[in-house]
Chain A
């Protein structure tokens, strides 16, 4: 499993460079009500630092709106708008259109402001998929970041189409007659690639520099871009709060959630994975949501992870740029 471009090893360099590279200014401030060890809140903080001040955020309904904006308090120092659950991408599209036209007409200062829309997996891959598809297809100058914690955590860990096979959730519980969630995680980054947008990436706050670099890259592209960020939810995954970062790394090292980017159709792995991959059990055993799985069932998951990883690596090796 070789990639054509050499992946950058982030972890080794992280401790040396990270403190110097990261903006000191906070745009998503402390004091919000996220659970201990929330991967999503951490990821948003990092995302904002990579985006900088000249940004407007549109937020889908979900944990982040609830924990960060209990009126009259707000954790946001960036301009921020929340409307409803399914329509964040459409709200973002309207923000982008409004900012563009007001700048053109001289109502706003002549300065580029980036529109960024964020949502959880439910607000992105299920109820928000139509609005997302529309916004991406129309070519709005907007970065959309999905913070995927693999279930409807805000409403109490119900299954979404991003929930992995075999996970127990409150609407797809494991029981004598059920393995829990019976379907394989919907591959939304691939659906975004199919929209022929200039930039799609997967990311994780466990690899902060990789994530922030991707956010910066997407920010610089004037067009629709998409980042799918795996955000560990210790509460919903039935895991220890202090293991949030570790679980994010295990997801990458086991090949369950490889970190890659697709620029104008060209796939590139951005964080190297061990060869061979770590066994999925390392990832699964640390999470209560998979507690009920039998060795046979885990082997089924391992086979699927191997297959998906191979499919991805084929793309990394063979994909061609559509701009050339």
Chain B
């Protein structure tokens, strides 16, 4: 039976990972994800989880050790943030190319510089094109649920790709929340032992990570892209199973009070929770606004996006990252691309918010809704001074 407990979300995330019985955990400390591996090492030390915990000397080695472990057929997990993600960057695309279903929690944090340990999404956005599936949690419950779902999705015979679950640093990782933690039996029923399609063992030798020359590289890239596109079906199937077993519903884009809304806002991660309150308050005042919360970042849900904004006049896309010298925020760029060929599409405004841990309050979201239609340029740094 699931148990409702009050727990710091990072610790609950670690508990969720432990329920999935990972074989190998390799992690290196970096704020704000660190409580996740710390707590996992506690669980291993207490004898509650039979796993190899490798205290690697860097994130590059964390991801490399996960690759090696996953290559043997083991279930491998790591967690990181910001500079740590950048430090392991080289290995990320290799892991997806080798179709190793490594699972990673990312306690999202701004990328330096200036150095800043607080939350935004500039870290995850750097790896959006590297062949990883990518989920965004809006609260602790979603972080716990997605952690467990991610192993099942990544290891599915039709997917075999790495996956990351994004939790906003501090705003989620360090928050105590009341949440349901499934028990071992429930998770065992939901998540079977990994069945790798190939594993490093002398009984069935295999060459992993071979050299791909120009005659094969395009085909290899297409195959990987197709695997990501096709993983959508598996994600939806796993979410249906989850709903059936645990009663909590997941979809690529969650709509909140969008019915009859002229202005709709799109968020990713924890800001959706605050934006909901703003929507509630504006609706009470008779302002027809709504909210979309994106939970699936990769593969990007193009069809769901088109459907979600039908009839909307203005779509405010919030981004917690700036594509410097580019089109504003990476989420807005994706949404514009998704809607470009649509005959009827909303006006799209792009607000860059919450960078490097800047608070975005309910009043701020209300202000953004009220300003809809007045945006100058294709993107705006909301609330910027000077």
List the interface of chain A (C-beta within 8 A of B).
53-56, 58-59, 65-66, 69-72, 74, 76-84, 86-87, 89-102, 104-105, 107-109, 113, 130-131, 133-135, 137-138
Contact = CB atoms under 8 A, between A and B. Distances in A.
Interface stretch (B12-20, B150-158, B198-206): B198-206
Contact of A87 (B61, B76, B204): B61
A322 B211 CA distance: 44
A283 B202 CA distance: 41
B71 interface: yes
Contact of B207 (A80, A90, A97): A80
Interface in B178-230: 193, 200-213, 216
B202 A55 contact: yes
Interface of B: 23-24, 26, 50-52, 54-58, 60-62, 64-74, 76, 90-91, 94-95, 98, 193, 200-213, 216
Contacts of B202: 53-56, 78-79, 113
A71 B212 contact: yes
The 5 closest A-B pairs by CB, nearest first: A94-B68, A98-B72, A134-B57, A94-B65, A90-B61
A275 B91 CA distance: 49
Given A69-B207, A78-B202, A81-B208, A134 B64 contact: no
B104 to A, nearest CB: 14
Given A76-B205, A94-B68, A102 B23 contact: yes
Contact of B210 (A71, A100, A134): A71
Given A90-B65, A93-B68, A107 B207 contact: no
Given A70-B213, A87-B60, A98 B69 contact: yes
A168 to B, nearest CB: 29
Contacts of A108: 73, 201
B93 to A, nearest CB: 10
B207 A102 contact: no
B205 A100 contact: no
Nearest to A89: B61
A95 B64 CA distance: 10
A96 B24 CA distance: 10
B74 A98 contact: yes
Contacts of A135: 61
B37 to A, nearest CB: 15
B13 to A, nearest CB: 22
A113 B72 CA distance: 11
Contacts of A92: 68
A70 B55 contact: no
